[in-house]
A and B are shown apart, each in its own frame.
Chain A
Amino acid sequence: MTQKYRLDKEGYINRKKSISFKFNGKKYFGYEGDTLASALLANGIHLVGRSFKYHRPRGFVGSKEDEPNAKVQLYDGAKTEPNAVATEVELVEGLVAKSQNCWPSVSFDLGAINNFLSKFLPAGFYYKTFMWPKSFWYKIYEPIIRKTAGLGVAPLKPDPDRYEHKFEHCDVLVIGSGPSGLASALAAAKNGARVILAEDKSQFGGSLLTDQVTIGNKTGKEWADETIEQLKSMPNVVVKNRSQVFGYYDHNMMVMFERTKDHIESPSEYIPRQKLWYIRAKEVLVSTGSIERPLIFGNNDRPGILLASAAKEYIKKYGILIGKKPIIFTNNDSAYDTAIEFKKNGINPLVVDVRKNSESTVVKEARDLGINIKFSHAVANTKGYLRVNSATVGKLNNDRSSYENLENIPCDCICVSGNWTPTVHLSSQSGNKLKFDEIINAFIPNQSRQNETAVGSANGSFTLKKSLEDGFHKGFEISNRLTKKNIKSDTPSSNEKNYGKHENFWCMPLPKNKDYKRCVDFQNDVYVSDIELAIREGFRSIEHVKRYTTLGMATDQGKTSNLNGLQLVSNIENKIVPEVGHTTFRPPYTPVTIGTIVGREVGKHYRPTRKSPMHSWHEKNNAVFVDAGLWLRPRYYKQGNETLQQAAKREGANVRKNVGICDVTSLGKIDIKGPDSAEFLNRIYTNAWMKLPVGKARYGVMLREDGIVFDDGTTTRISENHFHMTTTTAQAVNVLAHLEYYLQVVWPELDVNVLSTTEQWAGAAVAGPKSRALLKKLFPKIDVSSEGLPFMGFKEENLFGVPARVFRISFSGELAYEINVESDHGIFMWKKIMELGKSMGIQPYGTEALSTLRIEMGHVAGSEIDGRTIPSDLSLEGMLSKKKDFIGKRSLNREAFLNPDREKIVGVIPVDKKTMIPEGSHLVKDKNAPLPNPKLGHISASCWSVEYNNPFSLAILKEGKKRIGEKLYAMSPLKNKSIEVEIVSSHYVDPKGERVRS
């Protein structure tokens, strides 16, 4: 139970509540309020992982989202999560974590052999080595790289957790609850703005939790707590902790994830694991703080070498010493706070400062406490394989290119500080062109492109006084623009230490004749030598250097390494940093679980499912369904052990012999009304519509403006100024938008209204030679004779009291009718038809039989209207009016469209009359021709002909009908088939169309 490095005071943890967890199979204890990182450090554990490429032992570097090394795998099975950042994982009873990228264990990792081979694994190694021979890539190199590289392991089972999305609007979104964030949120809220304050940590307050400051007459922490309480009590404010704003998109669309479950010991099952918030903020205040930079020196990547601010945070927030023999290595004053905290807790630190001197109050305080400070000194190298155990410290010579008096100083941790980098990620994502600040040697936001304002240290102001002033001022200004109110809040007085200037010396020279590795990017294993090599090899753009060396490309996005990397490039190149520029900041700021992004759009919720009113009947009658866009349609009705093909054959044959019924509800239906309706249809369709009599339907083809066939269907004149249009299932939505475009944009003078009525009508097709007799039984009042209701005729009549529309139209090529009733009566209609058709041998048929019937009739559908074909390709020339203009007509005399070699529709039968030809097969002259075998056409649709009991296909073939009688081969490399075929007419059955008119 002992936590050797835990202090008995300090921190915001609950020492009364002990929490057990497992790391690499061993059980440990921490306290409520710990992170996984702080709990491990309390137990003296620094070694948490191995580096990406060389498998060098790695420990914690940071204490927050900047942590590059401590990526762990959480839990097992379906709940497992790879690449969790230990500093961001809140400790919860029963937490299980293990190290990644090491085998067999983190302390004995075979991959570490790479460290000794590192001379052979320089920057760009992958590009240089794995290029040749080309064929080795897929089979040999890639699988090996996949195994050795990589971080955690993705779960193989479906995610058992639930995630939710939330949409929110506000006047001001404040990101980060440090002093400037709290100040601006309070100022804006008091001035009447609707505010959301988002804090990614569990605790509010940011630097106020660790800094020794006072605001008014309170400590920083007290002021933060009080301000949060005040904000929470205001009705116009939403305060969220554990909420990371990770993406800044156009028009101030902010995306944030909220961790709602994982930190709770026994959560209710109804709590989602995370919530994704889409926040449309009128104004965004970026108060995201800053991140400390490491210093670069020999073997600076050993476990036990941390950022000075992290060491301080572990003391102040968690009551933990990261070591008991610390060296503080710095180029600025802020690290002295860390030294002072150690000292106050009974530890004697040694401060190594590269500067010649510093006179600030914080340095004086350290001196007064008796802390040993070595100015003009640097750490040149470190020792200790699994944990740093000593530092080689020397006096820097005058030009700082080498050392005097190198000595080895034992230590168990080194706390480094290379000054601070404002967290500009979100500002940059918003389009803000950053500028380089010569005083702090870092980029800060410059000109906003969206309604975005940076405050506090994210904006480069590092004093509390300035942050508070800035926060109160900007919070008021911005809210004033939105609310027009003038309620100003006073900035409270504050007290803080005074910090001097840092020195921009951050990359330590190597001692003579030594080539120690000096790490720049901890997570991606990028060293000073790699960047030097990239420059030597001619890479100049920072974006290229980044990609060649992989600098900053790991999951931490180079939070601690980017600036050091580009300063290094600027040094080597002898350029100033702004000239080098910076790489692009992209969302997400921290990694986001895929489940959160997906939210509830999984499984059946992935997209809507559309069902016809007769769906339940189909289900009860063994329908096997198929997706048709969003619709679920019966593909066939299974009897006994039937296969799909057997069922389609049976159902199709029954249509040809008796009568069948098919659910056609999914066809698009559009109601068209208005005095100019006929004129409108005349422009939209290729054929003539002005003279269509009331009570008649007509088949129509629509083109796109470029002449390509867009859709087809029948449209019926219900009354003089009222038409009922049908479209294919697939294009229903697009046709409506197309009609609306022409009516609203192109011909606003036409008085026509269009409305989708697809879901208002239930439709049943009744097809087959006995359909007339059945119709007679269904509608005794209708004269069903060919004179009374001819082909393409239409009647409105009651179906046993239910208003119905009867169309004599046919897709199957048989004598057929389509009956529409209001959706609510669909099931009644269906059952009535089944009941009255029973004596005639009626059977339902699905889309497979429907396809079979239309294919052998040579009717085109989506597989032929494929976005490439023009009317003459599909034998639809007869549909083109010569007397009028219509959409797409002008395009039809394009040279390419007049080419007689064009691919056109034909029928295809296998010579053996047995083998089904796979759809998509290519038609070729010579099956043995060398690849690529010249393609003459392709098979668009295949069926087993009900009429002739042999396979039949439609194809789009070069020169089309001219080839009828020719023998070709249908090749399907995917199915490994080459089938000798004969080209025939596409109208295989009833070419004169006598049946539909019978």
Chain B
Amino acid sequence: MLEIKCPHCGSRSQNEFSYGGDSSVKRPELGKEVPDKDWDDFIYFRNNPRGKHSELWHHVAGCRQWFKVLRDTSTHEIFKTAKLTEEL
């Protein structure tokens, strides 16, 4: 079980959080024309890197804030966590 430092609450066990995927994915703007390829990429395709991955987590059993985590996908090492308004 990972120990994740919520930037708002501090270090808590993984079972307080839920995973939210790649934090670098940006939703295409509403109301804009989006080519099929871009939309497909946004909906279905994610990189699956071995190593550093910046991702979103949601502190569901805590402050209910979404935040960013830089984690190594093979070792689970967490290098840094940050608020959404901060850079990782």
- When the two chains form their complex, are residues A890 and B75 in contact, meaning their CB atoms are under 8 A apart? no
Whole-angstrom distance between the Cβ of B5 and the nearest chain A Cβ: 11
Q: A250-B76, A737-B58 are known contacts. Are A744 and B65 too (CB-CB below 8 A)?
A: yes
Residue of B nearest to A252 (CB): B3
Bitwise interface map of A from 430 to 460 toward B, beta carbon under 8 Å scored 1, else 0: 0100000000000000000100000000000
- When the two chains form their complex, are residues B2 and A745 in contact, meaning their CB atoms are under 8 A apart? no
Whole-angstrom distance between the Cβ of B63 and the nearest chain A Cβ: 11
- Kindly state whether residue B27 has any CB partner on chain A within 8 Å: yes
- Kindly state whether residue A683 has any CB partner on chain B within 8 Å: yes
Within 47-67 of B, Cβ neighbours of A (below 8 Å) are at 56, 58, 60, 64-66
> Pick the contact of A431 from B42, B56, B75 — CB < 8 Å?
B75
- When the two chains form their complex, are residues B1 and A250 in contact, meaning their CB atoms are under 8 A apart? yes
Q: In the complex, what residues of A have CB within 8 A of residue B39's CB?
A: 890-891
- When the two chains form their complex, are residues A741 and B30 in contact, meaning their CB atoms are under 8 A apart? no
Within 18-47 of B, Cβ neighbours of A (below 8 Å) are at 18, 20, 27-28, 30-31, 34, 39, 42-44
Residue of A nearest to B32 (CB): A885
Complex alpha-carbon distance, A397 and B13, angstroms:
61
Whole-angstrom distance between the Cβ of A673 and the nearest chain B Cβ: 15
Complex alpha-carbon distance, A422 and B85, angstroms:
49
Q: A741-B58, A885-B31 are known contacts. Are A251 and B76 too (CB-CB below 8 A)?
A: yes
- Kindly state whether residue B88 has any CB partner on chain A within 8 Å: no
Q: In the complex, what residues of B have CB within 8 A of residue A683's CB?
A: 30
Q: In the complex, what residues of A have CB within 8 A of residue B60's CB?
A: 737
Between A and B, how many residue pairs show CB distances below 8 Å?
52
Residue of A nearest to B26 (CB): A746
Q: In the complex, what residues of B have CB within 8 A of residue A885's CB?
A: 30-31
- When the two chains form their complex, are residues B2 and A740 in contact, meaning their CB atoms are under 8 A apart? no
Complex alpha-carbon distance, A884 and B31, angstroms:
7
Residue of B nearest to A886 (CB): B30
Q: In the complex, what residues of B have CB within 8 A of residue A252's CB?
A: 3
- When the two chains form their complex, are residues B43 and A891 in contact, meaning their CB atoms are under 8 A apart? yes
- When the two chains form their complex, are residues B84 and A748 in contact, meaning their CB atoms are under 8 A apart? yes
> Pick the contact of A706 from B13, B43, B66, B85 — CB < 8 Å?
B43
Residues of B bordering A, CB below 8 Å: 1-3, 13, 18, 20, 27-28, 30-31, 34, 39, 42-44, 56, 58, 60, 64-66, 75-76, 78, 84-85
Whole-angstrom distance between the Cβ of B10 and the nearest chain A Cβ: 12
- Kindly state whether residue A404 has any CB partner on chain B within 8 Å: no
Q: In the complex, what residues of B have CB within 8 A of residue A890's CB?
A: 28, 34, 39
Complex alpha-carbon distance, A740 and B39, angstroms:
22
- Kindly state whether residue A249 has any CB partner on chain B within 8 Å: yes
Complex alpha-carbon distance, A508 and B5, angstroms:
56
Whole-angstrom distance between the Cβ of A447 and the nearest chain B Cβ: 12
20 contacts between A and B (CB under 8 A): A250-B76, A251-B2, A251-B76, A252-B3, A253-B1, A253-B3, A253-B13, A280-B3, A431-B75, A705-B27, A705-B43, A737-B60, A740-B64, A744-B66, A745-B56, A746-B27, A748-B84, A885-B31, A886-B30, A891-B43
Complex alpha-carbon distance, A740 and B60, angstroms:
10
Residue of A nearest to B38 (CB): A890
- When the two chains form their complex, are residues B2 and A250 in contact, meaning their CB atoms are under 8 A apart? yes
Q: A250-B1, A740-B58 are known contacts. Are A745 and B66 too (CB-CB below 8 A)?
A: yes
Complex alpha-carbon distance, A891 and B39, angstroms:
8
Q: In the complex, what residues of A have CB within 8 A of residue B58's CB?
A: 737, 740-741
Q: In the complex, what residues of B have CB within 8 A of residue A884's CB?
A: 31
Complex alpha-carbon distance, A248 and B39, angstroms:
42
Size class of the contact patch on chain A: 20 to 34
Within 239-292 of A, Cβ neighbours of B (below 8 Å) are at 249-253, 278, 280
Whole-angstrom distance between the Cβ of A278 and the nearest chain B Cβ: 8
Q: A741-B20, A746-B27, A885-B31 are known contacts. Are A449 and B75 too (CB-CB below 8 A)?
A: yes
Bitwise interface map of A from 92 to 112 toward B, beta carbon under 8 Å scored 1, else 0: 000000000000000000000
Q: In the complex, what residues of B have CB within 8 A of residue A253's CB?
A: 1, 3, 13
Complex alpha-carbon distance, A51 and B67, angstroms:
55
Q: In the complex, what residues of B have CB within 8 A of residue A740's CB?
A: 58, 64, 66
Q: In the complex, what residues of A have CB within 8 A of residue B65's CB?
A: 744
Q: In the complex, what residues of A have CB within 8 A of residue B44's CB?
A: 706
Other than A280-B13, A683-B30, A705-B43, give 7 A-B pairs with Cβ distance below 8 A: A250-B1, A251-B1, A253-B3, A741-B58, A745-B56, A884-B31, A890-B28
Complex alpha-carbon distance, A705 and B42, angstroms:
9
Whole-angstrom distance between the Cβ of A250 and the nearest chain B Cβ: 5
Complex alpha-carbon distance, A705 and B28, angstroms:
11
Q: A706-B43, A740-B64, A890-B28 are known contacts. Are A745 and B3 too (CB-CB below 8 A)?
A: no
Q: In the complex, what residues of A have CB within 8 A of residue B66's CB?
A: 740-741, 744-745
Q: In the complex, what residues of A have CB within 8 A of residue B20's CB?
A: 741, 745
Bitwise interface map of A from 280 to 318 toward B, beta carbon under 8 Å scored 1, else 0: 100000000000000000000000000000000000000
Within 947-969 of A, Cβ neighbours of B (below 8 Å) are at none
Within 31-72 of A, Cβ neighbours of B (below 8 Å) are at none
Residue of A nearest to B85 (CB): A748
- When the two chains form their complex, are residues B3 and A251 in contact, meaning their CB atoms are under 8 A apart? yes
- In this complex, the member of B20, B43, B58 whose beta carbon has the largest number of chain A beta carbons within 10 angstroms is B43
Q: In the complex, what residues of A have CB within 8 A of residue B30's CB?
A: 683, 885-886
Residue of B nearest to A756 (CB): B64
Q: In the complex, what residues of B have CB within 8 A of residue A745's CB?
A: 20, 56, 66, 84
Complex alpha-carbon distance, A788 and B75, angstroms:
64
Within 671-730 of A, Cβ neighbours of B (below 8 Å) are at 683, 705-706
Complex alpha-carbon distance, A603 and B75, angstroms:
37
- In this complex, the member of A251, A252, A683 whose beta carbon has the largest number of chain B beta carbons within 10 angstroms is A251
Complex alpha-carbon distance, A251 and B78, angstroms:
9
Whole-angstrom distance between the Cβ of B54 and the nearest chain A Cβ: 13
Complex alpha-carbon distance, A683 and B27, angstroms:
13
Q: In the complex, what residues of A have CB within 8 A of residue B2's CB?
A: 250-251
Complex alpha-carbon distance, A252 and B76, angstroms:
11
Residue of A nearest to B29 (CB): A885
Complex alpha-carbon distance, A980 and B75, angstroms:
58
Residue of A nearest to B40 (CB): A894
Bitwise interface map of A from 213 to 252 toward B, beta carbon under 8 Å scored 1, else 0: 0000000000000000000000000000000000001111
Q: In the complex, what residues of A have CB within 8 A of residue B13's CB?
A: 253, 280
Q: In the complex, what residues of B have CB within 8 A of residue A741's CB?
A: 20, 58, 66
Whole-angstrom distance between the Cβ of B43 and the nearest chain A Cβ: 5
Whole-angstrom distance between the Cβ of A603 and the nearest chain B Cβ: 21
Residue of A nearest to B75 (CB): A449
Complex alpha-carbon distance, A278 and B60, angstroms:
21
Complex alpha-carbon distance, A740 and B58, angstroms:
9
Complex alpha-carbon distance, A746 and B84, angstroms:
10
